[in-house]
Amino acid sequence: MGKVLLFLAVGAVVWWFWRKARARPEAAPSIPKPAELMVVCAHCGVNQPRSECIESGGRLYCSDAHRLAAEQAGGGRD
């Protein structure tokens, strides 16, 4: 009798831990993306999302080519 109860108790604990381990959220809840901040390229003035911009010297550029172009044009200050 006592062994059966012990077995059930252990089984319940194991089941509880198993359930808890499986309860981990695998897929993140669908949080709506915040509105992407649009910024202007310092070289050509085109608008594009902040995350796609290249930042250099506190300025934002639409592409690496424009970053280089702007640096070559405006660089060399003494």
Owner of token pair 């006592």? 2
Question: Toward Zn ion, which CB reaches closer, 4 or 37?
Answer: 37
Question: Toward Zn ion, which CB reaches closer, 30 or 51?
Answer: 51
Question: Toward Zn ion, which CB reaches closer, 28 or 62?
Answer: 62
Residues 14-53: x where in contact with Zn ion by CB under 5 A, - otherwise, as a string: ---------------------------x-xx---------
List residues binding Zn ion (CB under 5 A).
Answer: 41, 43-44, 62, 66
